[in-house]
Amino acid sequence: MESKTARFTVLMDPDKKRAFEMLCAQQDLTPSQVVRQLIREYLAKHGVTYTSKAGSQK
């Protein structure tokens, strides 16, 4: 995981948020873990590379 973090705020319907949190809990994951994975997959799908502060290029 990255050593530094930045906050990312998402607005959504409360029922959708509750369903997402419940599904994450069932999979023993936090919502943040799932969102970070989705972002990594989306960047990779579109060929976007980035360098983390640790110095490794993704």
Give the pLDDT of the chain (58 residues) as one tens digit per residue.
556 889 999 999 999 999 999 999 999 999 999 999 999 999 999 999 988 776 555 6
Q: Which residues contact 10 (CB under 8 A, 6 or more apart)?
A: 35
C-beta separation of 40 from 58 below 8 A: yes
pLDDT at 4: 80
Residue 26 to residue 5: CA distance in whole angstroms: 25
- The answer to whether 54 and 2 have CB atoms below 8 angstroms apart is yes
- Residue 40 has a pLDDT of 95
For residue 33, the model assigns a pLDDT of 98
